[in-house]
Amino acid sequence: MEKTRAPFKGREIHATPVCESDHSLSFFPSLPCLRKRGVYSADKEKSTSGCQKNGGRHHALFPGIFTTFCPHGICYGFEVMECAESPNRPFTFLKTRFERAPEIIIYDNTCNLHQYALNRDPVFFSHTRMVVDGLHWDNHTACAIGYKGLDYPFIRRINTQIVEQNNAKLKKLKSSLSYMTPAHFLMSLKFFLWHCNFTLKRCSQSGRNNTC
Ligand SMILES: [Zn+2]
Ligand SMILES: [Zn+2]
C-alpha cells in the first residue's frame, strides 16, 4: 500500500488560473467551469498507449457528443467532441469543473484516460478509481484486467443501462442534430436531455421503469 502511495507523496494538485468563459458548445448547468485546464509537459509528448480501442469516425462531421451521468442516470450535461475519444475531453471536463476528481469514474475509454490523467495531474486523481463499463469492455484489446468494471461489486450495483438507453436515443437524433446550426443544435439537445432527466425522475418517483 505504501508503495502505491509513494508517487503522490510530497506533491500537490497542479494549480491553474480561474476560468473566465465556458466552452461555447457545452452545457453543464450544475457544473460551472471553475478553473483552466492548465498546460503540462506531457502535452508535448506523443502518447504511447497500450490499449487500442476499436472504432471509426465520419470524415467531415464532429465525432460525437460527450455526455456525463450520475449513478442514477441523470445527465449532468454535454459537450461537443472535437476529436474521437480523446482522453483530453474527459480530463479537461474533470479538471476544470470539479474541486477534486470524483471517487469513481466509469468511462468507455478509461484506460487511456487514466494514463493521460496520471501523467498530468496525479494528485488531483489520486483518490479516483477508473473502470470501463460492461458494454464497452469487449472493445478493449490488450487492456489491463483491473479496468474491467464488471469485476467490481460496487460497479455491478450501478445501472449503466440507463446511460446506454439515453445514448441509443441520442443516436436516433444524430441525422437531424448533425446538420443543425450551433444555436438550434444546443437548444434541441438541451431540451432532449431535460426530457430524459425529467422522465427518469418522474418514473423513479412512481416506481416505474424509464420509458422516455
Ligand atoms: Zn444521481
Ligand atoms: Zn483499454
ipTM over 0.85: yes
- Which ligand is in closest contact with the Cα of 107? 2
Sites in the chain below the pLDDT cut of 70: 22-23, 47-50, 52-63, 83-85, 208-212
Please write the tens of the pLDDT for every residue from 64-113.
788 999 988 899 999 887 766 688 989 999 999 999 999 999 998 899 99
Which residues face 27 on adjacent strands? 78
Domain that holds residue 95: 22-31+61-206
Question: What is residue 18's predicted lDDT score, i.e. its pLDDT?
Answer: 82
Is 117 contained in some domain?
yes
Is 166 contained in some domain?
yes
Burial 93-107 (b: 16+ CB within 10 A, else e): bbbbbeeebeebbbb
Question: What is residue 104's predicted lDDT score, i.e. its pLDDT?
Answer: 93
Residues with CB under 5 A from ligand 2 (ion): 51, 111, 140, 143
| Number of domain units in the chain | 1
Is 199 contained in some domain?
yes
Is 142 contained in some domain?
yes
Does residue 148 contact residue 131 with C-beta atoms inside 8 Å? Answer: yes
- Measure 14 CA to ligand 2 centroid, in angstroms: 26
Is 68 contained in some domain?
yes
- Measure 113 CA to ligand 2 centroid, in angstroms: 9
